[in-house]
Structure 1
């Protein structure tokens, strides 16, 4: 479940299952070389991250037929009005913030492991997650912008 949630946050709902399958295919191939004392969950999350990023890169190089583009933003499934869908808002965060939130809060990984996946320090991973949560709070409740300034 953790791996699928990580895939969803990186590639979105439509491509998450493809990334999830690629993750486990890669994991099965690499499993014989996995050290006995390895943290399997962190290892799988790392593979999910890499496969998801690969999928984003590969899909970004493929043209989208004009017929598949929506006429209006509402056709993407987001309801109009003031309702905020937290998953859409998280998906709009900068990549480091989005990934730090996904790995720590959804994946349950400590910031030390999040930092290893993202390539940085635990403090930087904690800051990225904190900045992401702050941005979400301000987006959902603009009145908090004044409180945090």
Structure 2
């Protein structure tokens, strides 16, 4: 019989992976909010989670959904400012070219890049989340990274 870990241990073990996924979706500014919402939701659902469940994949799924909720919520709210600018200013603290390049990837490639390369999940777990086989997930991730390398300049390319 498999015994579940105490929830505090789950947070310690999987917290960094969940934070990477949140940062991949919402960026560093809002990642803490998405992380907190993920673990609050997980805490409520944890007693009903089967003891043999893949906790990391379960948490990554919750994190992805909570991060999307943060993005949607931010898009619906007005941001008060002292003075209305003459033109729209880009958000600060994010590399918008990289985020735009990731956003332009096809859905499956974007998800695999986020789950595997940013979230650190193995391809078997990624395949369970996005559907298909581990080989298909590996291929989608490879294609996504290849596209990012072509469309997003690295520091080495910028200096030459």
TM-score by structure 2 length?
Answer: 0.67
- In 2, distance between residues paired with 1:89 and 1:134? 15
1:114 pairs with 2:129: no
Change (3 A) 1:71 1:53: closer
Counterpart in the other structure of 1:76 = 92
Deviations 1:91-141 (A, max 9, x none): 4443533321121123232223213323x2135433331221011211246
Which residue in 1 is equivalent to 2:29? 14
1:101 matched to 2:113? The reply is yes
CA shift in 2, pair 1:62/1:127, >3 Å: farther
> Could you tell me which of 72, 76, 86 is aligned with 1:61?
76
Whole-Å Cα distance in 2 between the matches of residues 61 and 127 of structure 1? 36
Q: Alpha-carbon deviation of 1:16?
A: 0.5
Does structure 2 retain, via aligned residues, the 8 Å contact 1:10–1:99?
no
Aligned partners of 1:68, 1:14: CA distance in 2, in Å? 22
Match of 2:13 in 1: none
Unmatched runs of 5 consecutive residues or more in structure 1: 79-83, 143-149
Aligned partners of 2:39 and 2:69: how far apart in 1? 14
Find the aligned partners of 2:143 and 2:72 in 1 and give their Cα distance.
Answer: 25
Q: What CA RMSD, in Å, does the superposition of the two structures yield over aligned residues?
A: 3.1
Return closer, same or farther for 1:141/1:42 CA change in 2, 3 Å cut-off. same
Residue 14 of structure 1 aligns to a residue in which SS?
Answer: coil
**Paired positions, count:** 135
Contact conserved, 1:93 with 1:132, CA < 8 A, in 2?
no
Distance 2:34 2:84 in 1: 22
Return the TM-score normalized by structure 1: 0.71
Mark the runs of 5 or more structure 2 residues left unpaired by the alignment: 1-15, 155-160
